[in-house]
Amino acid sequence: MACCLTLSDNSICRIKPLILLLLNLNICIEQISATSYLIPSELSNIDRPFFDDISPRNVSVVVDEIAILRCRVKNKGNRTVSWMRKRDLHILTTNIYTYTGDQRFSVIHPPSSEDWDLKVQYAQARDSGVYECQVNTEPKINLAINLQITANNDLEIINSNRRHYDSKAARAKILGSAEIHVKRESTIALTCSVNTHASSVMWYHGSSIVDFDSLRGGISLETEKTDMGTTSRLMLTRASFRDSGNYTCVPNGAIPASVRVHVLTGEQPAAMQTSGARRSRGDTATIIFISIKILYISRLYIDVNPKGR
């Protein structure tokens, strides 16, 4: 009997690690089974669209500038992203399509990106208000952004400061006539000469600072310091009608200068920026003058030598 007990004890000692292993395995299986009931709901939450809320909820821009309202949607899937204007519940865009007659509104959506940003060109005071980025889930989710359009008083301040300069003060001058006409799709080239070494030179289009990083593209600025002062050259390629307007060169510490630009189609007016027309008129005048002079000399020669007729 003692031998049996010894054998039994030895057997138990041998299978004890196996029993513990089976118990641990059973606990793991139960945990996996319990977790498996949570997976569907967790997966549904993971697959559900949501906003990557990293953008400001309040956006403020100046009149006539471009306003960008950011909206990044994660896990969009086959859902639809729309922008709605809150004050009149008007749907402005759906996915990449615009559903408003106001062509200033559009969506910026780079291919394969999660961004569905609302772009408002030439923002006006009437555009102020709340806009919602919406995704047609069930229930629907939305991201509200408040847009505030403010007036730019920079040019008013600049103009009001003109009286503080005397006639010998540093000042800017835009070369050429006060009004420039250019053809559409051509290049607008403006040169501003300052009779001092200005630390910086800013350009305004209307009341807005010219944005060299804007989506328009094709805008460049070259500033050169010379012995006489500072020269700033502004160039805008592929001119469109929207580039028309007043351009102001604003050097730091000097009186600004302005020029009016007209982007046209059709016949060249007298003030067309290209100098081809003026050269043509000048060449014509020169030819007429030379012709008259030749006739005059010929007449004198005939009068002096009547026999030479």
Residue 281 phi/psi, 5-degree rounding, is -65, -40
Are residues 138 and 93 both part of a single domain?
A: yes
Q: Based on the structure, what is the number of domains in the chain?
A: 2
143 and 177 fall within a common domain: no
Provide the residue range defining the domain that includes 204. Answer: 172-264
Task: List Cβ neighbours of 191 (8 Å cut-off, separation of 6 or more).
Answer: 174, 175, 176, 231, 232, 233, 234
| 102 in a structural domain | yes
On whether both 179 and 254 belong to a single domain, the answer is yes
Which tokens is 173 given? 């001058």
User: Taking the CA atoms of the chain, what radius of gyration do you get in angstroms?
Assistant: 38
Do residues 250 and 185 share a domain? yes
Do 148 and 185 lie in one domain? The reply is no
Whether residue 279 is contained in a domain is answered as no
Contacts of residue 267, defined as CB under 8 A and 6 or more positions apart, other chains included, come to none
- Specify whether 55 is located in the same domain as 147: yes
Domain termination residue (choose one: 247, 264, 281): 264
The strand pairing partners of 145, in sequence order, are 131
- The answer on 254 and 190 residing in a single domain is yes
Distance separating alpha carbons of residues 143 and 149, to the nearest angstrom: 19
Position 90 in a domain: yes
Return the CATH number at 148: 2.60.40.10
Residue 279: per-residue pLDDT:
44
196 and 143 both lie in a single domain = no
Residue 26 maps to a domain: no
CB 146 within 8 A of CB 59: yes
- Both 178 and 145 in a single domain? no
Question: What is the pLDDT tens value at each position of the chain, 309 positions in all?
Answer: 444 445 455 565 666 666 666 666 666 565 555 444 444 444 445 578 888 877 778 888 888 788 999 999 988 888 999 999 998 888 999 998 988 777 788 999 998 888 999 999 888 888 899 999 999 888 889 899 999 888 765 555 555 544 444 445 788 899 988 888 999 889 999 999 998 888 788 888 887 888 776 778 888 888 888 888 889 999 999 998 888 888 999 888 888 888 989 988 765 554 455 433 344 444 555 566 566 656 655 565 555 555 544
* pTM for this entry: 0.40
Residue 275's pLDDT is: 38
What single letter denotes the amino acid at residue 111?
A: P
Strand 257-264 to strand 245-251: parallel, antiparallel, or no bridges (unpaired)?
A: antiparallel
Answer whether 152's CB lies under 8 Å from 123's CB: no
- pLDDT of 118: 93
**Which pLDDT does position 171 carry in this prediction?**
86
- Give pLDDT, residue 166: 46
123 and 187 within one domain:
no
Look at residue 28 in the predicted model and tell me its pLDDT: 57
Task: Tell me the percentage of the chain whose pLDDT exceeds 90.
Answer: 16
Confirm whether 103 is domain-assigned.
yes
Residue where a domain terminates, one of 108, 124, 152: 152
Query: Maximum distance among all alpha carbons in the chain?
Result: 170
* Same-domain pairing of 68 and 117: yes
- The rounded distance, in Å, linking the Cα atoms of 19 and 14 is 10
Burial of 42 (0-12, 13-18, 19+ CB in 10 A): exposed
Please indicate, yes or no, whether residues 63 and 146 belong to a single structural domain of this protein.
Answer: yes
